[in-house]
Structures are given as structure tokens and as C-alpha cells.
Amino acid sequence: MNPHVRHLRRTLPATVTLAHGGGGSAMRDLIEGVFIAAFTDSDAPLEDQACFDLAALAAVGDRLAFTTDSFVVDPLFFPGGDIGTLAVCGTINDIAMGGAHPVALSCAMIVEEGLPVEILRRVAASMAETARAAGVPIVTGDTKVVARGACDKLFVTTTGIGVVRAGAHIGIGRARPGDIVLVNGLLGDHGAAILSARGDLALDSAIESDCAPLHGLVGVLLDAAPGTRSLRDATRGGVAAVLNELAEASGVGVRLRELDLPVRPEVVGFCEILGLDPLYLANEGKLVAVVPPEEAEAALAALRAHPLGREARAIGRIVETRPGRVVMETRFGGERIVDMLVGDQLPRIC
């Protein structure tokens, strides 16, 4: 968009119509009135195609990272965030988990006809605010509108590019026996917040989503523990899914200690009532890090010194025995296998 068309902006109607996805002047009005209005304080203007100087990127690191995620969370707004904060944080975190510094995001919206424009404005505003606070601008986008009933309100797909720091070699298949498993804080808040926000459980809880961008935290972690083997944000499927993937991919066993798992008492209670396991609950601001033993202490100290890692903890270790398996030493001294679930405990959690 450009200054020549700015003065043509008309007042938007109260709800989104099919014409807003049609490529004509109504779409332009919507994009200008909602998205440009929210995103232009970012570092770059919103265009059909965004451009970055390759030499400037190469000054940050040696590899370009590229990742995408769709967000279909229900409800759109929940304690601690909304689909917009989730879409920005989720993709920033996917980039960060490769040891990369996030550079920019794209944002593609699929909107249901009839959605109040005010809802779009609120989502765009929280995307813009989250992106600005994270220092990662939203630089390009797309909007499609489908007829009433053809989608549920709003889906958002964000894609990110980033630059991997030179020397970082992080992967889900790199864990080795002896390594230590860390998490940066309390588990299960996002899953519990969404479930309680759906309201059909008539549970009154004050649990908020932990939705947060983790690239700053990863930065301090990698400074302190440059030998970090694996990083993964524990979203759908929770810490259990991450550790099962890691055990399989690395051909190692993982041993957890139940007593070391940091879970908020409200989430423990919530899970007990509903028969859920916090290890499987989704998080949106929690990472699992596997670090070599000699760097574990420094890694933990670095995480704890960061606002998003105050409750960081070592929750287990990588072992040779039972490769491909995650085993938990229970609080009663027994042990049980933490298997991968077939699906999530909850649909549309992110």
C-alpha cells in the first residue's frame, strides 16, 4: 500500500463481508483500515512482498531459518492472550528453537463472513503489540474471506524467517546419554487456560496462558550453554510429546522425576478434576532444552536470570537404557512409561 491510496479509505462496515476478500476496493479498505493501521508502526510497511538485504542478514548468522504454523484456537480470546498473540509468539518460538534470531513474520488470515470488524481490529492490535514488543515486525500478509459457515470465525497462519547464529547446531536428534533436560517454568498453563475459557466445564479458574515469545530467553541460554543439543517449545502434546520425539529421534532414553516437574497447584487441581495429565497439556511459552552435563548449571542459571525463566528447572536426564522411551520416576518411588498420545487431549488448543 502507498500514500496515494490512503485518502480513499472509507468507513468500514461493522462486519466482514465476502467483498472484503474479493481483491477490490473493499478488500483494500479492510487491509488499510485494520492491518496497515495496526502494523505500520512496525519496522517495515506491509506489502505484497517484503524484501530484506541479504548482506545485513548474513551479518547476524550463516543460515536462514524458515517455518510456518496455522492457528485455529477456540475461543479466539482467552485469559493471557488471543489468537493473535499466539500466532506471533508461536512462530517466533519455532524460529527460536532452531537457535535462530527471528527477523520477520508474514500473516495470512482466513475470515468468516459476518465476523465483527472489531474482532479483527482487536486481533490485529494484539499481533502488532506482541510483534513490536518482540522486535519482530509483521511485514507482509494476505486476507481471504469465506462464506458464513465455511470457517469458524478466524484462522491465522504466520510464517517466520530468522537467522541461525553461527556455530549453533541444534536438533531433536542430537541428545546424548548424560545430557540434562531443562524446562523454563511451570507446565500446562496454556492448555488449562484454553480449556477453562471454553466455559463448558463451569470451572472458575484464574489460570492464564503462558503465551510468550522465547527468542530472548533462547539467546541467553545459548550464550551460557553454546553446546545446547536440542530445543523445542512444548506446544500441542506438551512436554510428553517433545520428549518422545526426542527419545526416538536421538535413539536414547529419557528419565524424568515427577517430583521435579514444575506445575502450578491450580493446574494440578484442574488436571485432577478432569483426569488430564499436565505433561501432555499444551504450553505456549515453555521450552524443553537438552544440554550437555558440563553446561547444565550455567544453562539453568541463565534461564533463571531471565524474566521468562524464573521457574526454570532440571526435570530429567538422557540415558542409554530403553532407547526411544520416556520413563518417569513417580513421587511414590515407582516408575511409569510416559507414552506419546495418539492425539491431543484437546482439539483446537492453538
Find the binding residues for a copy of itself in span 99-158 (CB under 8 A). Answer: 100, 104, 106-110, 139-142, 144-147, 149-152, 155, 157
Q: How far is the CB of 212 from a copy of itself (least distance, A)?
A: 19
Q: Strands 230-233, 154-164: parallel, antiparallel or unpaired by DSSP?
A: unpaired
Task: Please say which residue, 222 or 296, places its beta carbon nearer to a copy of itself.
Answer: 222
Q: Are strands 253-257 and 326-329 parallel, antiparallel or unpaired?
A: parallel
**Binding-site member from 9, 13, 15, 27 for a copy of itself (CB under 8 A):** 27
Residue 9 makes contact with a copy of itself by CB under 8 A: no
Of 54 and 259, which has the nearer Cβ to a copy of itself? Answer: 54
**Which listed residue (21, 84, 216, 292) binds a copy of itself by CB under 8 A?**
21
Q: Given its phi and psi angles, is residue 127 left (phi above 0), alpha (psi -120 to 50 degrees) or beta?
A: alpha
Does 11 interact with a copy of itself (rule: CB under 8 A)? no
Q: Is 292 in the site for a copy of itself (CB under 8 A)?
A: no
DSSP strand pairing (180-183 vs 313-319): antiparallel
Indicate the burial class of 329 (C-beta count within 10 angstroms; 0-12, 13-18, 19 or more).
Answer: middle
Q: Which is nearer to a copy of itself, 43 or 294 (CB)?
A: 43
Does the protein bind a copy of itself through residue 343 (CB under 8 A)?
Answer: yes
Return d(Cα 46, Cα 139) in angstroms, integer. Answer: 5
Q: Does 277 contact a copy of itself by CB under 8 A?
A: no
Stretch that binds a copy of itself, among 15-23, 202-210, 267-275, 308-316 (CB under 8 A): 15-23
The CB-of-64 to a copy of itself minimum distance in angstroms stands at: 4
Among 125, 249, 274, 314, binds a copy of itself (CB under 8 A): 249
Residues numbered 228-247 forming contacts with a copy of itself, rule: CB under 8 A: 235-237, 241, 245
Q: Would you state the torsion angle of the CA atoms of residues 4, 8, 13, 18, taken in this order, to the nearest 10 degrees?
A: -60
Nearer to a copy of itself, 46 or 193 (CB): 46
CB-wise, 244 or 300, nearer to a copy of itself?
244
User: For a copy of itself, which is the closer residue by CB, 257 or 322?
Assistant: 322
* 124, 39 Cβ separation under 8 angstroms: yes
**Can you state the angle between helices 215-224 and 293-304, rounded to 10 degrees?**
140
Instruction: Give the nearer residue to a copy of itself in terms of CB position, either 19 or 298.
Output: 19
Query: Could you say which of 12, 88, 164, 281 contacts a copy of itself (CB under 8 A)?
Result: 164
Please state the length of the chain: 350
Show contacts with a copy of itself in window 83-102 (CB under 8 A).
94-95, 97-98, 100
Q: Is 53 in the site for a copy of itself (CB under 8 A)?
A: yes
Element (H, E) at 240: helix 238-250
Buried b (16+ CB within 10 A) or exposed e, 268-303: eebbeeeebebbbbbbbbbbbbbbbeebbeebbebb
Among 179, 189, 258, 344, binds a copy of itself (CB under 8 A): 344
Nearest to a copy of itself of 25, 330 (CB atom): 25
Integer CA distances (angstroms), 66 to 98, 220, 226, in order? 10, 22, 22
Residue 104 cell numbers, joined: 520477520
Q: How many Cα atoms are found within 13 Å in the side-chain-facing hemisphere of 286?
A: 34
Is residue 12 within 8 Å of 33, Cβ to Cβ?
yes
- Among 9, 13, 15, 18, which residue sits at the site for a copy of itself (rule: CB under 8 A)? 18
| 2 or 206: CB nearest a copy of itself | 2
83-96 helix and 117-134 helix, angle to the nearest 10 degrees: 30
Least distance from C-beta 83 to a copy of itself, angstroms? 12
